[in-house]
Amino acid sequence: MSIKYIATSKLPTPWGVFAMHGFEDTETGKEHVALTFGELSGDQPVLGRIHSECLTGDALFSLRCDCGFQLQAAMQSIAEAGQGFILYLRQEGRGIGLLNKIRAYALQDKGANTVEANEQLGFEADMRRYDMIQPMLEHLGITSVRLMTNNPRKVKAMQDVGVDVAERVPLQVGKNQYNEAYLKTKSTQLGHLMSEHHFADDEF
Ligand SMILES: Nc1nc2c(ncn2[C@@H]2O[C@H](COP(=O)(O)OP(=O)(O)OP(=O)(O)O)[C@@H](O)[C@H]2O)c(=O)[nH]1
Ligand SMILES: [Zn+2]
């Protein structure tokens, strides 16, 4: 893993003006992005999110998953807190890529769940890696985080690369009629921590 910092610019958003930092993984050619908000120096844990790319949810308004809603909620929370970060990692489709994710969605249209669909295509359920996190956070001067996620594997992955996770902050947003089964599968088969409340109410 070889992560190279490239450049920083402003990124004005509906929630405030973030700074956008570009990184290149020189082994894979993947272009990762970090967004930061406010002043990040100091010893206090920083509110943040590690977000894996989901073109369909993040950019195309898909209701099949909760990604876009989580991204927006995280940016809003960070802006409200006055400080925080998002690492936007280019590992689409839990690491299988966009076209394979569309193949997996086609299988899900025929009844497979999100895990079965990956396996029918010959992939593991989750092929993501998180070793790019350490050099990206080191560049930003972040050593301890309050991580917005429902995924305990992300917490472990961060600890494995030496980042202190002071707190896991649940991020349950965006449930709807199209992603309810997907969220349930995340909870029962991928280990995500979701309160039953999330499945009981009908609101976004
Ligand atoms: N293969 C596959 N990938 C999916 C599917 N639905 C969403 N994804 C991908 O799943 C990933 C979700 O990433 P995150 O939201 O960062 O992570 P998470 O594991 O859901 O954990 P949270 O932090 O709780 O959101 C993205 O890369 C999506 O593209 C699916 O049905 N099949
Ligand atoms: Zn998604």
Residue 68 labeled ligand binder: no
Q: Which of 115, 125, 128 is nearest to 154 (CA)?
A: 128
Contact, 21 vs 5, CB < 8 A? yes
* Residue 58 Cβ < 6 Å to ligand 1: no
Query: Which pair of structure tokens corresponds to residue 8?
Result: 């920083």
In the structure, what pLDDT confidence band is assigned to residue 203 with cuts at 50, 70 and 90? very low
Residue 198 labeled ligand binder: no
* Residue 95 Cβ < 6 Å to ligand 1: no
- The pTM of the full predicted model, rounded to 2 decimals, is 0.93
SS3 59: helix
pLDDT at 190 over 90: no
Report d(CA 181, CA 106) in Å as an integer. Answer: 15
Q: In this predicted model, what pLDDT tens digit does every residue of 152-180 receive, in sequence order?
A: 999 999 999 999 999 999 999 988 899 89
Atom of ligand 1 at shortest range from CA of 70: 25
Report d(CA 31, CA 9) in Å as an integer. Answer: 15
Catalytic residue among 25, 58, 66, 128, which? 128
| Residue of 47, 56, 67, 171 best suited for mutating to test ligand 1, as the one with most atoms within 8 Å of CB | 67
Q: Which amino acid appears at position 69 of this protein? A: F
Atom of ligand 1 at shortest range from CA of 96: 1
Q: 145 CA distance to ligand 2 centroid (A)?
A: 23
Q: In this predicted model, what pLDDT tens digit does every residue of 57-68 receive, in sequence order?
A: 999 999 999 999
State the ipTM, two decimals.
0.96
Atom of ligand 1 at shortest range from CA of 56: 29
